[in-house]
Chains A and B, each alone.
Chain A
Amino acid sequence: MTSFKFGTLSIGAAALLAGVLGASIATKAGDEIKNATKFGNMNSVTQDLLNRAGGDGNNFLLTNGDYTQSRYFPNKQINVSNVSKLRPAWVFQTEVKDSMETSPIVVNGIMYVTTSFDHVYALDARTGEELWHYKQKLGPITTYCCGPNNRGVAVYEDMVYLATLDAKLVALDAKTGKQVWETQVADPELGYSETMAPTAVKGKILVGTNGGEYGIRGFVKAFDAKTGKNLWTFNTVPESSVGVWATNDATGRDMHRDIAAEKAALAKNGDPYKTLGGGVWQNPAVDLDTNRIYFVVGNPSPDLDGSLRPGDNLYTDSLVSVDLDTGKYVCHFQYIAHDVWDMDAVSPPAIVKVADKDGKMIKGVIHGGKTGHIYVHDAKDCSLIRFSEAMVPQENMWVLPTKDGARMLPGANGGVEWSPLATNPSLGLAYAINLHQPMTYHVESSAYPAGKLWLGGAFKIIPTEEQWGNVTAVDYNTGKIKWQVKTQQPMIGGILATAGGLVFTGESNGQFEAFDAETGAALWKFQAGAGVNAPPSSYSVDGKQYVVVAAGGNAQVDSKRGNSIIAFTAD
């Protein structure tokens, strides 16, 4: 139980503590004392705490709940019988009114949230009162395809870590918000940028990169948590990216590749690995037993034009596992070889116990695809065990893009976009939020533009067709859809399951909702006033459970912008 009591520090002790902390960003000494005392006896975020995050009913220490990325919060104080009483405990408004994708992180009653353009706030998780505010001074060049987003921080020992739009990794003092170090991860002028929350594990800070729309060469990098020194880099595109000339996708459907033309292009132009894309948008799952991480790799560059990039384009559109200590390749599984639809792998994978093909329970990895399938893998070798029923309509797959546009469903945002899944291990269910956005796929070849947007064509929403979304519960041991709730608008953001038998998620129209985890019955909703397009978190402080979510809208689906962090309680 992590409790904090005002007044447990004397003024003298508080002043001493403030002095030890050094100068806070607050300029007045009085403010420093005030801020310092609010932190009370703040615990350092130890590796042991992080290892046990999945069973921690007080803190929310990792972006997706724990290292397995279960998004299953173990506290059941808020549950199916009292969720109808849920009401806002506090609202905090940030300085930035734009797209919010942050996953609030909570450490002993202190919450860390981020906004578009890389602001970080530390808040009192009981009251929403601001403790400090950090604004990253962004360089003149930031390159991002899908909004000036940031998806949150990582916490480790006494530091808070932020990855920025101008492709830097920044370490902040958790108590003061002062920058401790920053390091350049990659060159933003070449299309690299960061929107993901980093992952902190065993003295390392892990980050991927955006840039699959700009002809980057993707990676996952590990940095020393104390110094920012680069420890290893795994290039998501190997120098030999050709692969096995796969003609079918993971589900066995023909992708209509012209292998002869690709081989001729390969002979003429060589391997396209240097500008082949392969961003990693979201956090890896960490298997502490085997010391491996699992992440998914995004689309090849240019998105729609395969003529410039012959071969399977390894390891784009793949689940990949590497060794945590060295970054060395362990295994991969490619969902779509030579993708020309941007139907890539973005939603972070989760490690779960699953039934293999013989019904034996093994360690598995699940991923929600833009295709609308949840893919279930054997963690040992990344091989595919099964894929779920499609959660959204699929039509004309895999029709090739044309100059005038070919209609195919799903649209290029999915299915499941970057939104993380949630799971309920006792029910064996994975919860996904989906988009249905009919689009036409257009191809038009253009040369590598040295860091500019490079789609090789265009995706266009068909304005005359209806768009909608859904919340879907999938039994990952069978691949069957257990329940599904259709929503008014395409869904992007995230979802959280709790031991209280609940699933929380938000919609672009501002509704934040709770569903019964077993049946999908709508149990509660709240109108947040702006698009709720961010993953919820939950935490407890002073014995009271809260659910918290950002309502700031979203650039990608152009939902109404706002700037609120809203925490709810059931008392």
Chain B
Amino acid sequence: MRLVLIAFVAMVASSISHVAVAQSIEEKAAVCAGCHGENGKPVSPEIPVLWGQKEGYIYLQLRDLKRGDRKHEIMSGIAAGLEKTDMQELAKYFSEKPWINLQQKSADAPTASQAQQVASSAQCEGCHLSGYLGDSTIPRLAGQSETYLLKTMSEFRSGARANNAWMVTLLKSYSDSDIAALSKYIAGL
């Protein structure tokens, strides 16, 4: 599945970066649907929900992927072909779509309790805001794919995702169990 996706995306990314004719935002966004879902539901739980995500956050991630501050086997190639205005338009386009409910189950009480204690200590809602709904450059986490949340937090912790030093530092002090609880809890909100 992954190899097929990579091949597909690499092909389309190549077409974005080499076709200079004016494209509509829908055309520009078409490549994204291959992974992030035509109707906003990603094709794999490892891929984040993009519809309804925060505009500033999407823009900064694309910018960082292009700069190389964030690395991803598929997205780095796609972002490399984008100009700043493309990134801004894509960010606006996806942020204006409705958030997709993945129908993930709520965490059970002990897991929720563990997650809330970690979140209180780390002051997560100080940035991600009440209900983990995010704003501007801070992503919405509530209802995001549990697998993606776990993967992302693990990558911050290992330093594999390095475009937010604060998240790296913060997550290093939490255990596998803490991160798993947080992922389950936040995904189920």
Q: Which residues of A contact B (CB under 8 A)?
A: 98, 117, 138, 140-143, 145-148, 165, 405, 442, 444, 446-447, 449, 452-458, 460-463, 555-556, 558, 561
Of the listed stretches B5-13, B140-148, B162-170, chain A binds: B162-170
Residue of A98, A141, A442, A454 near B130 (CB, 8 A) is A98
Are A446 and B129 in touch, CB under 8 angstroms? no
Residue of A454, A462, A555 near B129 (CB, 8 A) is A555
Min CB gap B152→A, angstroms: 16
A372–B166 alpha-carbon span in the complex (Å): 27
For window 44-89 of B, CB contacts with A under 8 Å fall at 55-56, 59-60, 69, 88
A460–B172 alpha-carbon span in the complex (Å): 12
Chain A residues within 8 Å of B168, by CB:
444, 446
Closest to A189 in B: B60
Could you mark each residue 116-152 of chain B with 1 if its beta carbon is under 8 Å from any beta carbon of chain A, else 0?
A: 0100111101110110000111000000000000000
Are B164 and A452 in touch, CB under 8 angstroms? yes
Q: Known pairs A138-B136, A449-B165, A453-B164. 16 more at Cβ < 8 A?
A: A98-B130, A140-B88, A140-B92, A141-B56, A142-B137, A143-B136, A147-B129, A148-B135, A442-B169, A442-B173, A447-B165, A453-B166, A458-B173, A463-B121, A558-B120, A558-B123
A455–B164 alpha-carbon span in the complex (Å): 11
A-B contact pairs, 20 of them (CB 8 A): A98-B129, A117-B135, A140-B56, A140-B59, A140-B92, A141-B56, A141-B59, A141-B137, A146-B126, A165-B136, A444-B168, A444-B172, A449-B69, A452-B166, A453-B166, A455-B166, A458-B166, A555-B126, A558-B125, A561-B130
A456–B168 alpha-carbon span in the complex (Å): 11
Indicate if B91 sits at the interface (CB-CB under 8 A).
yes
A397–B81 alpha-carbon span in the complex (Å): 51
Are A460 and B136 in touch, CB under 8 angstroms? no
Main SS of chain A's interface residues? loop
Chain B residues within 8 Å of A117, by CB:
135
Are B173 and A461 in touch, CB under 8 angstroms? no
Residue of B55, B126, B135, B166 near A556 (CB, 8 A) is B126
Are A141 and B120 in touch, CB under 8 angstroms? no
Chain A residues within 8 Å of B137, by CB:
141-143
A141–B88 alpha-carbon span in the complex (Å): 10
Are B163 and A452 in touch, CB under 8 angstroms? yes
Residue of A458, A461, A463, A555 near B169 (CB, 8 A) is A458
A569–B87 alpha-carbon span in the complex (Å): 53
A212–B136 alpha-carbon span in the complex (Å): 19
Chain B residues within 8 Å of A140, by CB:
55-56, 59, 88, 91-92, 95, 136
Could you mark each residue 156-179 of chain B with 1 if its beta carbon is under 8 Å from any beta carbon of chain A, else 0?
A: 000000011110111011000000
Residue of B121, B122, B165, B172 near A452 (CB, 8 A) is B165
Min CB gap B68→A, angstroms: 12
Chain A residues within 8 Å of B122, by CB:
460
Chain B residues within 8 Å of A558, by CB:
120, 123, 125-126
Q: A98-B130, A140-B56 are in contact. Are A555 and B173 (CB under 8 A)?
A: no
Closest to A166 in B: B136
Chain B residues within 8 Å of A142, by CB:
56, 135-137
A456–B166 alpha-carbon span in the complex (Å): 7
Are B125 and A555 in touch, CB under 8 angstroms? yes
Min CB gap A175→B, angstroms: 31
Chain A residues within 8 Å of B121, by CB:
460-463
Are A446 and B169 in touch, CB under 8 angstroms? yes
A140–B166 alpha-carbon span in the complex (Å): 21
Chain A residues within 8 Å of B56, by CB:
140-142
Q: A147-B126, A558-B120, A561-B130 are in contact. Are A460 and B173 (CB under 8 A)?
A: yes
Closest to A147 in B: B126
Chain A residues within 8 Å of B127, by CB:
145, 453
Closest 7 CB pairs of A and B: A446-B165, A142-B136, A453-B166, A140-B55, A141-B56, A444-B169, A140-B56
